[in-house]
Amino acid sequence: MSSLYRNTILFCLHLVVLGSAVWADDPLPRVLLLGDSIRQGYAPYVQSYLAGEADVFAPSDNSRSTANALSGDPYKLLGWLGGEPWDVIHFNFGLHDMEYPNGCTFPPDDPSLYDPLVPLGENPGEYQYNLRQIIDIMRAHSPDAVLLWATTTVVPPGGNRLPTDPPIYNAAAATVMNEYGIVTDDLYSLSVILRQDPAMYPPGYDVHYTVLGYQNLAENVSDSIREVIPEPATICLLAFGGWSLLFRRKRKFVFVYRSLR
Delimit the domains of the chain by residue range: 1-16+232-261, 30-229
Helix (H, G, I), strand (E, B) or coil at 34: strand
**Does the structure show a pLDDT above 80 at 247?**
no
Q: How many CA atoms lie within 13 A of 120 on its CB side?
A: 16
- The pLDDT score that the predictor gives to residue 239 is 43
Q: How many CA atoms lie within 13 A of 187 on its CB side?
A: 33
Which residues make Cβ contacts (< 8 Å) with residue 42, sequence separation at least 6?
A: 214, 215, 217, 218, 221
Give the CA radius of gyration of the chain: 24
Query: Which of 118-122, 148-152, 248-252 is predicted least confidently?
Result: 248-252
Other beta carbons less than 10 A from residue 97's beta carbon? 28
CATH of domain 30-229: 3.40.50.1110
Helix (H, G, I), strand (E, B) or coil at 191: helix
Q: Which residue has the higher pLDDT, 169 or 236?
A: 169
Residues 198-211 as b/e (b if ≥16 CB within 10 A, e otherwise) read eebbeeeeebebbe
- The pLDDT score that the predictor gives to residue 251 is 41
Contact 64, 233 (CB under 8 A): no
Measure the CA–CA gap between 101 and 160, rounded to whole angstroms.
7
pLDDT band of residue 224 (cuts 50, 70, 90) is: very high
Q: Which residue has the higher pLDDT, 88 or 103?
A: 88
Measure the CA–CA gap between 194 and 217, rounded to whole angstroms.
9
**Does the structure show a pLDDT above 70 at 177?**
yes
Q: What percent of the chain has pLDDT over 90?
A: 64
What value does the mean pLDDT take over residues 153-161?
91
Among 4-18, 37-51, 88-102, the range with the most confident prediction by mean pLDDT is: 37-51
What value does the mean pLDDT take over residues 66-70?
97
Measure the CA–CA gap between 32 and 46, rounded to whole angstroms.
11
What's the chain's average pLDDT?
A: 83
Q: What is the pTM of this model?
A: 0.79
Measure the CA–CA gap between 34 and 150, rounded to whole angstroms.
10
**Does the structure show a pLDDT above 70 at 261?**
no
Q: In the chain, what is the straight-line distance between the N-terminal and C-terminal CA atoms, in Å?
A: 16
